[in-house]
Structure formats: C-alpha cells, structure tokens
Structure 1
Amino acid sequence: MELNKSTDTQAVVIRSYGQADAADTLAIFLAAVTETAAADYSPEQIQAWARPEARDLTTWHASMQERNSYVATVDGAPAGFSDVNSVGYIDMLFVAPRCQRQGVARQLIARVEAHARTAQLAELTADVSITARPFFERHGFTVEAEQHPVTGGVRLTNYKMKKKILDSAVCLSGQLACHTQDQANTVRDHLALHLALTRAEPGCRSFNVTATSDPLVWQVEERFEHEAAFATHQERVASSEWGQATSGIERRYSSTERFGATLTLGNNTTQLDVTASAIVH
C-alpha cells in the first residue's frame, strides 16, 4: 500500500471505480510502487511487489470491483485510488507520483472512512508499507504488528495497522481574537459564508462562531463526526476565502484532552496538545 505524502489541497474529486478505470489505476499502482516506494525498499523488493509482467487488466478489474474501490481524479484525470471491503479492510491506497502534494491521499482516506461509518463498521485495518505508515498514523491508525511477508521469494516489511472509528467525534472550543477593528470587520464580512459552507460539509455535526461581550472576540464551537471529516474541513478552510482573509487573526484554544496531531484552522497551525480539539471516545 502506498500513497502521496501531501498536505496541499487541490480540486480532488472522489468517485466509485468503474471498468474504464482499470488501465489507469493499474498504471498508478505500478508507478507508485516503482517510484514513490523506491525510497524505502530495495530494487529486488520493488520488483517482487510490483510484478508488472504478472499483471493483466481482466484480473485487475475483477479484483478492484470486489474490493469496493474508489478513484480520485484531479482535473478529471485519475490521480489515485483506494478501497474498503465489508469488514473494514483497506487493501490498497495509491497515488500517482505526478499527483503528490494535491491532497489526493487525504481525500481518499476520508471517503473510505465515511463508507465504513455508513456501514457501521467498528474499525478500519490495513497492511501498510514503510512509506505509507506516517500518513496512516497521522490519520489515527496505530501499529498492531510489524510483518515480513514473502512475495516471489523476497522478504518485505509492512505493518498491520488499525483505527477504531466508532464514537470518535472531534470537538473544538475556543476563541477567535482580533487585535484591530479592521480584523473584526474582516470577520464580520466573511463569517456568514464561512458558517454556511462549513455547516453544509459532510460530517459536520455543529459549527458556531458567535459574538461575545468583547467586540473583537468571537467564541468558536465545532463538532465533527470523525477525524477524517475534520481533516477535510481543515483542507477546505485553508484555501478558502475565509481562511485567506483571516489567516493573521489569533486563535485561542484550551485543551480538554490531549491528542498527538496537528490542528490547522485557517492558515494558523498549532499542536493539539495546546489547543481545544478533543477526541471524544
């Protein structure tokens, strides 16, 4: 399993896999394994993993269909793919090397998790490559075991990883604190649209930014169904009109539960152990 290491956001569209995607997704798989993963595996391991001479479109297509696969596109062109089966196992998550730094992997994992939640699955599992492990850890997966499967007589290394997805709402509480009247005017000018767009996002349970007795300070209360929905919200906000207009305005948060991840609100980034984003279990 491989993917990009991107955090940037572009116009990524996720849709269900179809037969017409077979050739493109196979090409993405081969490119991701032979190029992206080459930093962490030897040429012998890459050859055993990719096995391009053993791949055919008919078998590939049948396997993709069985695994409930999704395709990510950028500007209409296939850029990556993933899947999740009926028990929450993710067999593949790959992104084309040319599409790194476009938010493709993050959008794919969000769709996979949304599917699992709709199906009321308790957890997601995956056998994750060395290269992909940091990405999965950033998205709430933990390592259950280091594994050494043998493919084509060659020993590889990957990790059995798991993520519990029931009752994992993300809650944030804090303040948006302006230091000048111009900043306060900027908030007032952009707030209505920001509220409407956020409340319309999949996975947003509630989102409120309300005035306080101080005309320069607003109270912020957010609740998202799960981490993937919150991460997708952050990506949208970072490149939005609101995010760009308010990037220099101070965010004040206090934590009720520490969680080792990074929170980005607008274009400001802080560590969650000093902010008020709590993972409620």
Structure 2
Amino acid sequence: MKIQVRPATEEDAPDACSVIRSSILECCADDHRGDAKVLEGWLRNKTPEFVRRFILEPNAFSVVARVDEETIGFGSALKTGEVTLCYVAPSVRFKGAGKALLAALEDHAAWVGVVALRLESTRTARAFYLRHGFVAEGPPVLVFGIEGQPMRKELRPGG
C-alpha cells in the first residue's frame, strides 16, 4: 500500500468528512462507548462544509492521505501549532496513514516556524501520539462529552 499525502483542496471535503465520521464511529468506541448522545454531539458538526472551512482557512494547513485515488485520511493544523484534526479510515488503521499525516503536519509546522505542536487527544489516539513523541500536558478536559488529553510535541530546531 503506497500512501500519498498532499495538501487538501476544497474538492476533498466530502471524502475527508466521510473518513472523519467513519473513524469516529468505528475506531473511537473507547471514547464514545456507543452512547448515542455523545456520538451525536461529536458528529454534529462533522459535515463536508465543516471540513471545507478547515481546508480554506488561511491560518491552517490541511492534508489528505490517499491510496490509489481513495482518500484514507485527513489532518489539519493551525499556524499556531494546534493540530485540530487527524483521522484515518478504519480500513487503514495501523498501516502508516496516521503517521504520514502527522509527519506532513509536523514538517509544515516546522517550515513555518512553529516550535511545538499541541492537540487534545482522545483515549483511542493517545498511544499513537505518545509513540510519535507527544507528551501529556496538563489534566484531561471534557470535549463533546469525551475526555481529551492535552498533549504537546517539541519540533526539531531549524525545521
């Protein structure tokens, strides 16, 4: 499987949205525990228009991961270093797509002078971020009725 990561375009929004929604529904059971109210709150704004806004946001950088013309992942980070979204399709979980998305976001952040990335990790993604150099930063917070662990990763000096 050859994963290609490229900057996201407005036309990627529907497929990226589908990846985000399926990832939440199928991969994040440790977080939503099948609770319909939690899922409804988490998924409420996960629409193609929501994703399109991230892609078009001038203070953000968004990428898609693709295999054979199929979108399998989406990631976005603000120029401040806040990773706002990083999701992969359930079918490619643990196959390098998340790593490729995160690497692209890190490279871009370092290139524009960001010294550290920050995010709020779900329980599901916490081990992934720890494996990729993030550390917990402060106590967990409640977001969409689920626990989010603030995390931080210092980027390499000089990009």
TM-score (norm 1): 0.52
User: What is residue 117 of structure 1 aligned with on the other side?
Assistant: 110
Aligned to 1:49, which of 36, 42, 50?
42
User: What is residue 100 of structure 1 aligned with on the other side?
Assistant: 93
Higher helix share: 2
Which of 1 and 2 has higher RCO (CA within 8 Å, sep 6+)?
Answer: 2
User: What is residue 150 of structure 2 aligned with on the other side?
Assistant: 160
Q: Quick one: which amino acid aligns to residue 12 of structure 2?
A: D
Structure 2, unpaired ranges of 5+: none
- Relative distance call for 1:55 and 1:114 in structure 2 (3 A) is closer
Give 1:1-281 correspondences, 5 Å limit: 10-44=1-35, 45-51=38-44, 54-66=45-57, 67-151=60-144, 155-167=145-157
Q: Give how far 1:150 is off.
A: 4.7
Structure 1, unpaired ranges of 5+: 1-9, 169-224, 226-281
- Relative distance call for 1:46 and 1:165 in structure 2 (3 A) is same
Q: Give how far 1:63 is off.
A: 2.7
Greater Cα radius of gyration, structure 1 or 2: 1
RMSD over aligned CA atoms reads 1.8
Conserved? CA contact 1:146–1:157, under 8 Å = no
Q: Quick one: which amino acid aligns to residue 4 of structure 2?
A: V
> Does the residue aligned with 1:92 lie in a helix, a strand or coil?
strand
- Relative distance call for 1:59 and 1:47 in structure 2 (3 A) is closer
Q: Give how far 1:130 is off.
A: 0.6
Alignment partners' CA distance in 1, 2:70 and 2:10: 15
User: What is residue 195 of structure 1 aligned with on the other side?
Assistant: none
User: How many residues are paired up?
Assistant: 155
- Relative distance call for 1:30 and 1:145 in structure 2 (3 A) is same
1:52-91 CA distance string (max 9 Å, x none)? xx55433431233213210000122100011121111100
TM-score (norm 2): 0.88
Runs of 4+ in structure 1 over 6 Å off: none
Conserved? CA contact 1:17–1:65, under 8 Å = no
Q: Quick one: which amino acid aligns to residue 100 of structure 1?
A: R
